């Protein structure tokens, strides 16, 4: 296909990260491009997918994607993530929607300051414990509170669905060894991680610079995803395991996808990240979206002022 005539998309024309479909999982298909849509072809036929409406494309085993499809996804600011069987392993991801380093700089500044990092960590725990004052708690206390809360959530969902529950048991090397609840939890959390990862890189943040988790290339992904598990992936996993209808992996992914879309999780996630990293600004402001996406503005660092304009010769004209 000759694509010489395609005009690169202006960032202002792109769909905001929070307004996109959360994720689309494909496996054993050929991914190509047709105009401004990507196509997925398997033995059942071909489906056209508007690239700019997808937050993250999860590519599972058996997928082949063309250079033109990747070009379109990159131009649309959609993240492509290569994952393992049933979507439970992460391998790599593609481009970012952001054209600004503003949020990344705020993230790096906060994670390298003990006081600021503790503020963000406490705020994350406060979002999980509505109505509780965690402002004076140390990290050890917060971890203990969170552990008790998660055990209670598992127990409550087991009682609600009538399922037996002992503990979380996840082995990425042996999916079939887990019981139905643990299989569903693995599939649900993997889908959630993919969507959260897409929002993080779309906003220009680093998936690696976590505030509660640390030392892993997806630490911040786990931080943010943990904000939503009790209300989202854990109930879905227990429901899927209790219903016993169809293969657990695909059924769980579809239910998580629908819940992410109906609950507008991408929008909520983008708002929460801004609230955590830029607490002094209004996370609802459209101006923030422009600042985060806009717009190939390269400045030069200066030790006396924040920055000076780039693209200018500062040499002595004489």
Q: Average pLDDT of the chain?
A: 81
For residue 83, pLDDT over 90 is answered with no
For residue 184, pLDDT over 50 is answered with yes
Q: Is the dihedral of CA 70, 74, 77, 83 positive or negative?
A: positive
Res. 125 pLDDT band, cuts 50 70 90: very high
DSSP string, 202-250: HTT--TT--SSS-SSTTHHHHHHHTTTTTTTHHHHHHHHHHH--S-HHH
Q: What is the pLDDT of residue 96?
A: 61
Query: In terms of pLDDT, which residue wins out, 115 or 311?
Result: 115
In Å, how far from its chain's centre is CA 248? Answer: 22
| Distance (Å) of CA 127 to CA 84, 263, 312 | 31, 17, 45
Among 293, 279, 305, 288, CA closest to 109: 279
> Residue positions in the annotated binding site for Mn(2+)?
146, 213, 226
- What token pair was written down for 268? 């909520």
Q: Which domains does the chain have, with CATH numbers?
A: 11-93 (3.100.10.20), 102-277 (1.20.120.920)
For residue 29, pLDDT over 70 is answered with yes
Q: What is the pLDDT of residue 20?
A: 60
Q: What is the mean pLDDT of residues 252-278?
A: 90
- State the first-to-last Cα distance of the chain, in angstroms, to the nearest integer: 51
pLDDT digits (tens, 9 = 90+) for 271-294: 999 999 999 887 665 444 444 444
Q: What is the mean pLDDT of residues 167-181?
A: 76
For residue 194, pLDDT over 50 is answered with yes
The helix or strand, by DSSP H or E, that contains position 93, with its residue range, turns out to be: strand 90-93
Q: What is the pLDDT of residue 296?
A: 54
Asked whether the beta carbons of 18 and 288 are under 8 A apart, the reply is no
Q: What is the mean pLDDT of residues 193-215?
A: 89
| Distance (Å) of CA 12 to CA 9, 126, 291 | 8, 34, 11
Asked whether the beta carbons of 207 and 201 are under 8 A apart, the reply is yes
Q: pTM for the full model? A: 0.71
The owner of tokens 């929607």 is: 97
Q: What is the pLDDT of residue 203?
A: 84
Q: What is the mean pLDDT of residues 112-120?
A: 95
Q: What is the mean pLDDT of residues 69-95?
A: 74
Rg of the chain over all Cα atoms, to the nearest angstrom: 21
Query: In terms of pLDDT, which residue wins out, 293 or 39?
Result: 39
Asked whether the beta carbons of 51 and 72 are under 8 A apart, the reply is yes
Among 164, 168, 136, CA closest to 151: 168
**What percent of the chain is modeled with pLDDT above 90?**
41
Q: What is the pLDDT of residue 290?
A: 45
Query: In terms of pLDDT, which residue wins out, 310 or 276?
Result: 276
Q: Return the HEC string of 22-63.
A: EEEEECCCEEEEECCEEEEEECCEEEEEEHHHEEEEEECCCC
For residue 97, pLDDT over 70 is answered with no
Res. 64 pLDDT band, cuts 50 70 90: very high
Q: What is the pLDDT of residue 38?
A: 87
- What token pair was written down for 31? 């991914």
Res. 205 pLDDT band, cuts 50 70 90: very high
């Amino acid at each position: 296909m000759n694509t010489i005539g395609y005009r690169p998309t202006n960032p202002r024309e792109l769909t905001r990260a929070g307004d996109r479909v959360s994720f689309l999982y494909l496996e054993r298909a050929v991914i190509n491009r047709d105009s401004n849509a990507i196509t997925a072809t398997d033995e059942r036929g071909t489906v056209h997918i508007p690239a700019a409406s997808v937050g993250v494309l999860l590519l599972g085993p058996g997928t082949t994607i063309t250079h033109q499809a990747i070009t379109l996804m990159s131009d649309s600011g959609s993240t492509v993530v290569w994952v393992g069987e049933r979507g439970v392993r992460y391998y790599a991801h593609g481009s970012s929607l952001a054209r600004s380093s503003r949020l990344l700089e705020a993230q790096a500044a906060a994670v390298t300051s003990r006081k600021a990092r503790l503020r963000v960590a406490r705020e994350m725990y406060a979002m999980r414990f509505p109505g509780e004052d965690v402002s004076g708690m140390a990290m050890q206390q917060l971890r203990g509170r969170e552990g008790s809360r998660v055990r209670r959530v598992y127990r409550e969902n087991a009682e609600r669905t009538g399922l037996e529950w002992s503990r979380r048991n996840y082995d990425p090397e042996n999916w079939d060894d887990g019981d139905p609840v643990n299989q569903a939890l693995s599939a649900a959390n993997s889908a959630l991680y993919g969507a959260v990862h897409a929002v993080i890189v779309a906003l220009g943040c680093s998936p690696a610079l976590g505030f509660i988790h640390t030392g892993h290339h997806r630490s911040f992904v786990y931080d943010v995803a943990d904000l939503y598990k009790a209300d989202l992936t854990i109930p879905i996993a227990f429901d899927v395991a209790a219903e016993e209808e169809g293969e657990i992996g695909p059924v769980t992914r579809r239910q998580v996808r629908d819940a992410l879309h109906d609950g507008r999780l991408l929008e909520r996630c983008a708002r929460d990240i801004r609230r955590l990293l830029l607490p002094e600004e209004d996370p609802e402001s459209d101006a923030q979206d422009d600042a985060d996406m806009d717009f190939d503005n390269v400045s030069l660092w200066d030790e006396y002022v924040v920055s000076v304009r780039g693209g200018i010769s500062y040499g002595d004209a004489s």
